[in-house]
Structure 1
Amino acid sequence: MTTPTNPRFNHTKYRAFPRVTLDDRQWPSNALSKAPLWCSVDLRDGNQALIDPMTVEQKKQMWALLVRMGFKEIEIGFPSASQPDFDFTRWLIEARQIPEDVTVQVLVQARDELIERTYEALRGVRRAVVHVYNSTSPVQRNKVFGLEKSGIIDIARKGATKVMEESKKFPETEWVFQYSPESFSSTEVDFATEVCNAVIDVWQPTPENKTIINLPATVESAMPNVFADQVEWFCRNVDKRDCITVSIHTHNDRGCAVAAAELALLAGADRIEGTLLGNGERTGNMDIVTMAMNLYSQGIDPELDISIADDIIATVEECTNIKTHPRHPWLGELVYTAFSGSHQDAIRKCLAQQSEEEHWDVAYLPIDPQDIGRTYQSVIRVNSQSGKGGASYIVEQALGVTLPRWMQIELAQHIQSASEREARELSSDEIVAIFRQAFMPRGGHYELSGYQTEHDSLHHTIQATLNDGQNLITLHGKGSGSISAFGDALHKTTGLDLQVVQFEEVSLGEGSDAQAMAFVQISLQGQRFTAAAQDGDTLAASLESIVTALNIAISQGVKAA
């Protein structure tokens, strides 16, 4: 046993959360096949958790994003408790900002005067959810309110009655009632069900006019499988199950808000409340973006537009003043980035084989980053931990060619050296510049000025002209091909035993204006030198690459004639 440094760090003052007796649970065998009903609470629950709550203008900005993403239910505030929330509610209604297919939701405590104020804020709305709640957990009953269970039920029943009575004053509006036993996750499941049944008895929902019963993990107190058991027990035992929409509102105290919500759907829930990127009290609300992308990655339509990832991040940051962590699931800046050499190599190889017609199957990339507006240039980034794959991928994207493996290996050495020297990540532009400096340097001892070739069935002959900066030098050579003939010509002229060890050429396009690129590795005096060249003439590119490799060799000490 390790002795804690802090004597107050003592696990024995906590107790395990009680399990739910549910020996025949069904949720582990279920599978998700469709998106839930979504309700964004960014403008209410997310807003109340901010150091500086949103202004009305910021709320307008967030509202526009939520509508654009496709949310059909949006909790817009707590108008009876906040004047800005009241004003924002009135603006939405009076300025006719609520689309026909969008329903607004407002929160209110089970108190008469607050319920009356809520309906005043909603006057004239086409359709709205009035969400009433009261706390039900033992700690709230015993230490906050000092009430027995009957007192808690009485509060819930009276609040439900008041909500229903006030709605009758506004018959022009289509009203939907929602009830939350706050701290459901910390309430005895049989008592939470009893409270909800009391509310259901007041509202008398039907299959055509359903009531929403929202089950909050107000504080996440147990593993997500325990919460799933609670939800399944509730769905089995609640009255009029076919007349209610079971909604879930999880928090992230244990880091499992998304997992708890997903398992709750397996357990029978229909609807999910949460916020974009998980903003909310303490560790936050359930992150709708993460859950929606989880569904998307499994081939399920999330029924929300997450493809506008950058707009989502920008708006949430602007409205909440909270930066998005670079490792945030799915949308973080570094989520689709590989620094590891082996990861980069695997991604590069998989991308080269991935076709549009087949299911996505790329190592280390659970989805195609392009689906949410990310480019492949951001997928592979290079630092001192990276191998040949990453740098090669970046150069290949810039040049539009695939580098030979032997060139990839040499490039990796140059990149790693530069990264270690700079002690930082290298940008794409820097990597391409290093490639060009290492393998396509400008200038040099020789420059190819021109050439002519002839060939018969046995031999190729070449006459080429080199410029050494002072004189034009004419070369003659013979070989089995133009490349070997040029090597023979260089040997005769320079006296150097030059051999072409590796050679590849590739076209960079089609038609008369297409460019060609050649890659070469030569051997001189027991050393190898690698170079590349680009030209509109395929053979010229090949010969220039050899001359460049010779120039690199000379710059490193090999003596020319």
Structure 2
Amino acid sequence: MMLADPSKKYRRMYQRVDLADRQWPNNEINKAPIWMSTDLRDGNQAIFEPMNLEQKFKMFQMLVKIGFKHIEIGFPSASQIDFDFTRKLIEENHIPDDVYIEVLVQARDHLIERTFESLAGAKRAIVHIYNSNSPTFRQKVLNVDVAGAKALAMNAAERVKHYAAQYPETEWIFQYSPECFTATELEVAKDVCDAVTEIWEASAENKVILNLPATVEVSSPNVYADQIEWMHRNIARREGVIISVHCHNDRGCGIAASELAIMAGADRVEGCVFGNGERTGNVDVAAIALNMYSQGVAPELDFSNINEIIATVEECTGLPVHPRHPYAGDLVFTAFSGSHQDAIKKGFEFQKNQEIWDMPYLPIDPKDLGRDYDAVIRVNSQSGKGGIAYLLEANYNVVLPRRIQIEFSQIVQQVTDEQGTEITAQEIWKLFKSTYVAVKDGFYSSKNYRLSDDNGKQVIELDIAINGEVQHLRGEGNGPISAILDALQLPIDVLNYEERSVSSGASAKALALIELQVKGTGRSAFGAGVHDNIVTSSIEAIIACVNRLVEQGVLDQVRRTVDV
């Protein structure tokens, strides 16, 4: 089955914009807009169970803490809970002096009156009226012509002005939305908006808000930007108008449309913190704000504890934040891919002392959002040596030599392939120890030792159990390593030896890493030892490495012919 021919069923629902000299493509976003949260209104009416008073209050407090100065708190003329919530905020003095609460109301007289009753005593408030002027709504919903739609808006504007005068103690801002703006003829939208701003006497000293919503997203973001720029250029009383945008996400382009709208002249952005809202949601404010932040522009919103914000939103709405949500998702800073992990690991090596953030695959520093680096690299069957090495270094301060990284990554991959799941840093460390450390108790096993100095030579005396039989060995050399090898009298050479301090738990331990090669075979193996004492960890590493060579069959002949 195939999709039907769209040309027979669908048509373009927007008007082409004649804007040959459009300016927005050359503009940049260099300051934050006014932000308005619709989480308590548009976001609330789009969830399975609308928030109760306690949840609404918790959400309101979170929005204030983030830094929103315009917060739409509900539809008090249509909902008793919203009316009671509005009264609670005002009567209990929960609204900061620099915050405007906003309420929505349809362009109907009795609803407007009820709305102002809910706001009595507020210090600052925004009354938001709306009606649609698009051809579809005029013809199929409202049954009016253009003049009739304009009359609805003008009458509502008059009523808002009338009732506001009865509450002079409140600092009012009036807002009008020509609903379905993007599907409305621009000349019609401008004419209605101009009529409303004339009634409200918009001026530089008396700002009003014109909200130009993509109620349903019907075009690509560039068309919306053209529409906003056209209104920015042509509306009357522009100095007295705050142009606001309210983008829904029907085409999945709400963020892009909002950003281009800011470039086109918009002063204000409405949306929900994480993009909740009707159908596909309102625009995602956190994503836009942090997009700005990642470009060096202060967003004037605080997302420095994003985990706490996520928890509050999820608790109050009952909706999860997607794990791949930009910036907020659990997996958004996580790399499973081996090549990505390798690039991130190398990037961190250069980033440590740099002031400007410049990291592969990480456009923003997770720590700026209150996240740590623990989840940046996680290991599954798609991962490589870089990710494994990063986790050991980040969690245990263990820096593996490159050759052991390559070998150990294959061991880890075998485990993840068999399990088909992710493996944690703790599990990787446990696997490392079982592979390279625990083998010290195999064919050879060290019981105790004594180290001394004899005329500048290091002398070691060892009690070694070889295949269960304890033997006393003695060796000397320039240092403990050469003395141990001399005592063992095995045909092996040291290819590589490194010491590390391991931070795993309350106290640091010494980690010794060694690679031994059997003479004449070209075969080698790695071993490790972990102990409070570095000499002890070195002995354990050598014994573990010898046992691995025995396990691999490289020392089979040697142990039968060499008299240890």
**TM tier, smaller:** over 0.9
1:400-455 per-residue CA deviation (whole Å, 9 max, x = no partner) reads 13211112112101100111111111122111110111111163322162243547
1:321-345 per-residue CA deviation (whole Å, 9 max, x = no partner) reads 1111111111101101101111111
Comparing 481-490 with 134-143, which one deviates more in the overlay? 481-490
Query: 1:514: how far off?
Result: 6.8
> In the TM superposition, what are the counterparts of 1:409-424 in structure 2 within 5 Å?
409-424=406-421
**Does the aligned pair in 1 maintain the 2:473–2:488 contact within 8 Å?**
no
**Are residue 91 (structure 1) and residue 88 (structure 2) matched?**
yes
**Does the aligned pair in 1 maintain the 2:133–2:181 contact within 8 Å?**
yes
**Does the aligned pair in 2 maintain the 1:276–1:287 contact within 8 Å?**
yes
What is the CA–CA distance in structure 2 between the aligned matches of 1:182 and 1:175, rounded to whole Å? 22
User: Residue 387 of structure 1 is aligned with which of 367, 384, 405?
Assistant: 384
User: Residue 440 of structure 1 is aligned with which of 427, 437, 440?
Assistant: 437
The SS at the match of 1:446 is strand
What is the CA–CA distance in structure 1 between the aligned matches of 2:83 and 2:325, rounded to whole Å? 33
- Structure 1 length as normaliser, TM-score? 0.94
Q: What is the total number of aligned residue pairs between the two structures?
A: 547
Report the counterpart of residue 490 of structure 1 in structure 2: 488
The SS at the match of 2:41 is helix
The SS at the match of 2:374 is helix
Report the counterpart of residue 352 of structure 1 in structure 2: 349
Identity %: 49
**Does the aligned pair in 1 maintain the 2:15–2:185 contact within 8 Å?**
no
What is the CA–CA distance in structure 2 between the aligned matches of 1:514 and 1:450, rounded to whole Å? 23
Query: 1:181: how far off?
Result: 0.5
**Does the aligned pair in 2 maintain the 1:453–1:461 contact within 8 Å?**
yes
What is the CA–CA distance in structure 2 between the aligned matches of 1:415 and 1:242, rounded to whole Å? 64
Unmatched 5+ residue regions in structure 2? none
Report the counterpart of residue 9 of structure 2 in structure 1: 13
User: Residue 360 of structure 2 is aligned with which of 349, 359, 363?
Assistant: 363
The 1:456/1:231 distance shift into structure 2, 3 A limit, reads farther
> In the TM superposition, what are the counterparts of 1:425-464 in structure 2 within 5 Å?
425-441=422-438, 443-444=441-442, 445-447=444-446, 449-452=448-451, 454=453, 460-464=457-461
Report the counterpart of residue 530 of structure 1 in structure 2: 526
Report the counterpart of residue 516 of structure 1 in structure 2: 510
1:378-407 per-residue CA deviation (whole Å, 9 max, x = no partner) reads 111111111001111111223213211112
For residue 503 of structure 1, what is the amino acid of its counterpart?
Y
What is the CA–CA distance in structure 2 between the aligned matches of 1:54 and 1:15, rounded to whole Å? 38
**Does the aligned pair in 2 maintain the 1:453–1:482 contact within 8 Å?**
no
Comparing 406-415 with 447-456, which one deviates more in the overlay? 447-456
1:259-279 per-residue CA deviation (whole Å, 9 max, x = no partner) reads 101100000110000001100
What is the CA–CA distance in structure 2 between the aligned matches of 1:433 and 1:410, rounded to whole Å? 16
Query: 1:121: how far off?
Result: 0.6
User: Residue 296 of structure 2 is aligned with which of 294, 299, 323?
Assistant: 299
What is the CA–CA distance in structure 1 between the aligned matches of 2:56 and 2:199, rounded to whole Å? 34
**Does the aligned pair in 2 maintain the 1:185–1:220 contact within 8 Å?**
yes
**Are residue 109 (structure 1) and residue 106 (structure 2) matched?**
yes
The SS at the match of 1:450 is strand
1:46-69 per-residue CA deviation (whole Å, 9 max, x = no partner) reads 111112111111111111111111
What is the CA–CA distance in structure 2 between the aligned matches of 1:399 and 1:553, rounded to whole Å? 26
Report the counterpart of residue 190 of structure 2 in structure 1: 193
Report the counterpart of residue 270 of structure 1 in structure 2: 267
Report the counterpart of residue 134 of structure 2 in structure 1: 137
What is the CA–CA distance in structure 2 between the aligned matches of 1:218 and 1:44, rounded to whole Å? 15
What is the CA–CA distance in structure 1 between the aligned matches of 2:53 and 2:202, rounded to whole Å? 35
Unmatched 5+ residue regions in structure 1? none
What is the CA–CA distance in structure 1 between the aligned matches of 2:319 and 2:141, rounded to whole Å? 32
1:352-383 per-residue CA deviation (whole Å, 9 max, x = no partner) reads 22135420111111111111122211111111
**Are residue 151 (structure 1) and residue 144 (structure 2) matched?**
no
The SS at the match of 1:276 is coil
Query: 1:88: how far off?
Result: 0.7
What is the CA–CA distance in structure 2 between the aligned matches of 1:157 and 1:345, rounded to whole Å? 62
Query: 1:12: how far off?
Result: 3.5
The 1:11/1:382 distance shift into structure 2, 3 A limit, reads farther
The 1:455/1:239 distance shift into structure 2, 3 A limit, reads farther
**Does the aligned pair in 1 maintain the 2:473–2:487 contact within 8 Å?**
no
**Are residue 122 (structure 1) and residue 116 (structure 2) matched?**
no
The SS at the match of 1:466 is strand
The 1:124/1:514 distance shift into structure 2, 3 A limit, reads closer
**Does the aligned pair in 1 maintain the 2:243–2:267 contact within 8 Å?**
yes
The alignment's C-alpha RMSD in Å is: 1.9
The 1:116/1:356 distance shift into structure 2, 3 A limit, reads farther
What is the CA–CA distance in structure 2 between the aligned matches of 1:237 and 1:332, rounded to whole Å? 41
> In the TM superposition, what are the counterparts of 1:134-283 in structure 2 within 5 Å?
134-283=131-280
What is the CA–CA distance in structure 2 between the aligned matches of 1:96 and 1:190, rounded to whole Å? 43
What is the CA–CA distance in structure 1 between the aligned matches of 2:508 and 2:323, rounded to whole Å? 41
For residue 108 of structure 2, what is the amino acid of its counterpart?
R
For residue 363 of structure 2, what is the amino acid of its counterpart?
P
What is the CA–CA distance in structure 2 between the aligned matches of 1:90 and 1:58, rounded to whole Å? 15
Report the counterpart of residue 503 of structure 1 in structure 2: 497
What is the CA–CA distance in structure 2 between the aligned matches of 1:329 and 1:343, rounded to whole Å? 18
For residue 523 of structure 2, what is the amino acid of its counterpart?
Q
Report the counterpart of residue 406 of structure 1 in structure 2: 403
What is the CA–CA distance in structure 1 between the aligned matches of 2:315 and 2:509, rounded to whole Å? 46
Report the counterpart of residue 544 of structure 2 in structure 1: 548
- Structure 2 length as normaliser, TM-score? 0.93
**Does the aligned pair in 2 maintain the 1:487–1:500 contact within 8 Å?**
no
**Does the aligned pair in 1 maintain the 2:437–2:540 contact within 8 Å?**
no
**Does the aligned pair in 2 maintain the 1:392–1:411 contact within 8 Å?**
no
**Does the aligned pair in 2 maintain the 1:336–1:365 contact within 8 Å?**
yes
What is the CA–CA distance in structure 2 between the aligned matches of 1:90 and 1:9, rounded to whole Å? 53
What is the CA–CA distance in structure 2 between the aligned matches of 1:270 and 1:7, rounded to whole Å? 40
The SS at the match of 2:269 is strand
**Does the aligned pair in 1 maintain the 2:138–2:144 contact within 8 Å?**
yes
The SS at the match of 2:209 is strand
For residue 502 of structure 1, what is the amino acid of its counterpart?
N
**Does the aligned pair in 1 maintain the 2:15–2:184 contact within 8 Å?**
no
What is the CA–CA distance in structure 2 between the aligned matches of 1:357 and 1:302, rounded to whole Å? 23
**Does the aligned pair in 1 maintain the 2:104–2:129 contact within 8 Å?**
yes
Query: 1:532: how far off?
Result: 1.5
Comparing 368-377 with 172-181, which one deviates more in the overlay? 368-377
